[in-house]
Chains A and B, each alone.
Chain A
Amino acid sequence: MSTLHTVNKSPFEKTSLAACLEHVSAGAAVLLLEDGVYAALTRTSVEGQVKSALDNVKVYALGPDLQARGLLEERVIPGISVVDYAGFVDLAAEHDKVQAWL
């Protein structure tokens, strides 16, 4: 039983990511999309939080949403995998359920 959690809010605007990371169980996956991709960057105030989450869960960021915001993949925290929409579909299929942190 594993869940794919999707977070579409910037961590600098809403607390969805923090709430999500408090609730995820080990082995789960978190996909950052839309403004959620800001959490995937290095040198931000939430970098530590995201890096420690990587010990328990897999974290992904949606590439097209990084690109749409002019964010370079070089700035993505090592350990976070960048996926496209096809990758998003694969993640949804691989996990038992998908939980959106709206």
Chain B
Amino acid sequence: MKFAIQVNEGPYQHQAADSAYFFAKAALEKGHEIFRIFFYHDGVNNATRLTTPPQDDRNVVERWAELGGHYDLDMVVCVAAAQRRGVVDEGEAQRNGKDATNIHPRFRISGLGQLVEAAIQSDRLVVFGD
């Protein structure tokens, strides 16, 4: 079965970011396909590679990136939500005159159309948030 997952909350802020990860992992381990994971609202903070949690805490961003690398997941960050919160890739940095980027290379920035497309193309859309 084809799943799409929407994540509305940031790491270390709300359990939704953890719940979404464990759901995605379990679905993939069962042999399901994940068409796309869409990070919306504060969920865009799951994509900053500059995160540095204490060594004895889980690294939510790295964990997503590892899962994404292992299963070649399409992990998309909402562009408007990312701009507001300073989650930046090369293109956005140039467009908005910023001096740095912080997005993890496993993620990409795109628009809400990607969420709509994921909802249409997948059998189920599962939303995690507050």
Contacts and interface: CB of A to CB of B under 8 A. Distances in A.
B49 interface: no
Contacts of B125: 97-98
Nearest to A9: B130
Interface in B83-128: 123-128
Contacts of B128: 100
Interface residues of B, number: 22
Nearest to B6: A100
Contacts of B19: 8, 33-34
A92 B3 contact: yes
A98 B128 CA distance: 11
Contacts of A8: 15-16, 19, 130
B25 A85 contact: yes
A102 B126 CA distance: 12
A97 B22 CA distance: 19
Given A8-B16, A92-B3, A97 B124 contact: yes
Contacts, number: 51
Interface string A63-102: 0110000000000000000001110111011000110101
Interface residues of A, number: 19
B26 A85 contact: yes
Contact of A89 (B16, B30, B127): B30
Nearest to A35: B15
B127 A88 contact: no
B32 A89 contact: yes
A36 B90 CA distance: 40
Contacts of B71: none
Nearest first, the 9 closest Cβ-Cβ pairs linking A and B are A85-B26, A100-B127, A89-B27, A85-B22, A102-B129, A34-B15, A86-B26, A89-B26, A98-B126
Interface of B: 1, 3, 8, 15-16, 19, 22-23, 25-27, 29-30, 32, 123-130
Given A88-B23, A89-B32, 14 more contacts: A8-B19, A34-B19, A86-B26, A86-B29, A89-B23, A89-B27, A90-B30, A92-B124, A92-B126, A93-B1, A93-B123, A98-B125, A100-B129, A102-B129
